[in-house]
Amino acid sequence: MPSLSFTSNLTRHTPCPDGEFEATTVADLFQCYFLRWPEVRGYVLDDQGTVRNHVIVLVDGRSLHDRQKLSDALTPNSEVFVFQALSGG
Amino acid sequence: MADRLLVGTRKGLFRIERNVNGRWEIAGNWFLGDPISMLLVESNTPRIHAAMDLGHFGVKLQRTENGGESWSEMPAPAYPEKPDEVEDKDPFRGLEIPWSTQMIWSLVAGAPDELWCGVIPGGLFHSTDSGDSWQLIRTLWDDPRRKKWMGGGYDFAGIHSILVDPRNAAHVTIGVSVGGVWTTWDRGAHWELIGSGLRSEYMPPDKAGDPLTQDPHRLVQCPASPDRLWMQHHNGIFVSEDGGVHWRELSDLPISSFGFTVAVNPNDPDTAWFVPAIKDEQRIPVDAKLVVSRTRDGGRNFDLLHQGLPDAPAYDLVYRHALGVSDDGEQLVFGSTTGSLWVSEDQGDHWLVISHHLPPILCVQFEG
């Protein structure tokens, strides 16, 4: 199953343990994760569901292409990592 | 007389207390490292709200029910989904206005359990459950005139002042940078753009009197005389005797008519304080001399108060919400962008420095 993990900087604000969920896109993966950990959503996405300006999402080591709809495809072994940009601090 | 106050800074929330020796000192802190853009101490309760502006992870709201012993994250005001067909762009620069809360710029209590919250980019939010949930006031957000608001100091317009009429909590007046003064008599069901007599010298002459182009930096209301409003405007100081419908510009002001903040004595509508600065090109104290100006006669005369403030050159700027007054109107506190904090026990005649070493100060409020 695709996995999702977060920068340790985010744990300072809210619990966000690693997770694995059945998902074929980043949007699916986030949706599953936020069902389990709803308070994390607002730290990663803005009011319109877009990835926050100063948050970076890596999918298998590459930057998320679709930061608005999160439609990037995942494989069963995909690793998604959320971390903060060096900008915006 | 208050013995405690809160200070929201670029790097956390601080409590200042008067110790047993009568000296004010830093007594506690929360959220170190995180910007606190706004705070609200609810009167006669141990409830405090703190708005955080996390650089990477967005706007958050924290609430304590026990005076700060423990805090809980509460929902932050959030915009509804923007319909694809709606075009919403800054009128001058053409930038897309984000339907997403970028900063909480005002937070005010109304009736019991009622809160109002003003944000950048220009939304007004309402809560009837002490912040458990928020609703965007669509009547204002969807008003076509709202789309003519423009950024003032920040990229997009924002609501920094919310005045709830102590005689009638349904009567609410707001100040917008840059979008003038608006009022509602029915908790936001209908809005009226007011502000006759205001003048914006940064606009072309034919637009200078347009209420929509006004940049009120800060708007305050005297609780004992709620029709009296004071405004520190971008290019002047204005006073209203009718709740903001009509305004009179004060002339012959000492030092400067520019500044960001104003406070009014809750018990005396004629007494108000300002912190003047060189106007917008520089935004530092005039001649590097930090002073507070005070009127006690409704703006006819001003005293310049500096006892206890630095003799050496000072470059402190005081933001909109960084000047506070106690409920009895005797104590004042103000903090600066360079992290200095002063308190006065005699309406500003004398000042005591509490610290020169805090992070940049964004907001202050007395407790109790």
Ranges of residues in chain B with a pLDDT under 70 are: none
User: How many domains does chain A divide into?
Assistant: 1
- Nearest chain B residue to A41 by CA distance is B57
Q: Is residue B331 in a domain?
A: yes
Q: Is residue A89 in a domain?
A: no
pLDDT at residue A86, rounded to an integer:
78
Q: Is residue B70 in a domain?
A: no
* Both structure tokens of B276: 């003047």
Q: Tell whether the model's pLDDT for residue A14 goes beyond 90.
A: yes
pLDDT at residue A88, rounded to an integer:
59
What's the full length of chain B, in residues?
A: 368
DSSP state of B258: B
Over residues A26-43, the pLDDT tens digits come to: 999 999 999 999 999 999
CATH number reported for the structural domain that contains residue A54 in this entry? 3.10.20.30
Residues of A in contact with B56 (CB under 8 A): 9, 52, 54-55, 84-85, 88-89
Position of tokens 């709803």? Answer: A38
Residues of B in contact with A10 (CB under 8 A): 57
Expressed as residue numbers, the domain containing B249 is 96-358
Residues of B in contact with A88 (CB under 8 A): 55-56
**Do the strands A3-6 and A79-84 form a parallel or antiparallel pair, or are they unpaired?**
parallel
The contact set of B with A (CB < 8 A) is 54-58, 60, 73, 76, 78-82, 98-101
CB distance B55–A89 less than 8 Å? yes
CB distance A10–B57 less than 8 Å? yes
Q: Which of A10, A46, A47 to mutate to test the interface with B (most CBs of B within 10 A)?
A: A47
Our CA-based measurement puts residue A32 at a distance from the nearest CA of chain B, in whole angstroms, of 20
Average model confidence (pLDDT) across chain A: 94
Q: Is residue B77 in a domain?
A: no
Q: Is residue B14 in a domain?
A: no
Contact B181, B174 (CB under 8 A): yes
| Least confident residue range of A74-78, A84-88, B156-160, B325-329 | A84-88
pLDDT at residue B92, rounded to an integer:
85
Q: Is residue A54 in a domain?
A: yes
Q: Is residue A62 in a domain?
A: yes
Q: Is residue B190 in a domain?
A: yes
CB distance B73–A55 less than 8 Å? no
Our CA-based measurement puts residue B60 at a distance from the nearest CA of chain A, in whole angstroms, of 9
CB distance B57–A55 less than 8 Å? yes
Distance of CA B295 to the CA centre of its chain: 20
Q: Is residue B78 in a domain?
A: no
Q: Is residue B5 in a domain?
A: no
CA B223 vs CA A23, B195, B268, B269: distances in Å: 57, 20, 9, 8
CB distance A39–B73 less than 8 Å? yes
Our CA-based measurement puts residue A85 at a distance from the nearest CA of chain B, in whole angstroms, of 7
CATH number reported for the structural domain that contains residue B267 in this entry? 2.130.10.10
Average model confidence (pLDDT) across chain B: 96
Q: Which of B11, B57, B84, B156 to mutate to test the interface with A (most CBs of A within 10 A)?
A: B57
pLDDT at residue A89, rounded to an integer:
53
Q: How far apart are CA B156 and CA B141, in angstroms?
A: 14
| Interchain CB contacts (distance < 8 Å): A and B | 47
Q: How far apart are CA B368 and CA B357, in angstroms?
A: 25
pTM value is 0.96
pLDDT at residue B278, rounded to an integer:
85
User: How many domains does chain B divide into?
Assistant: 1
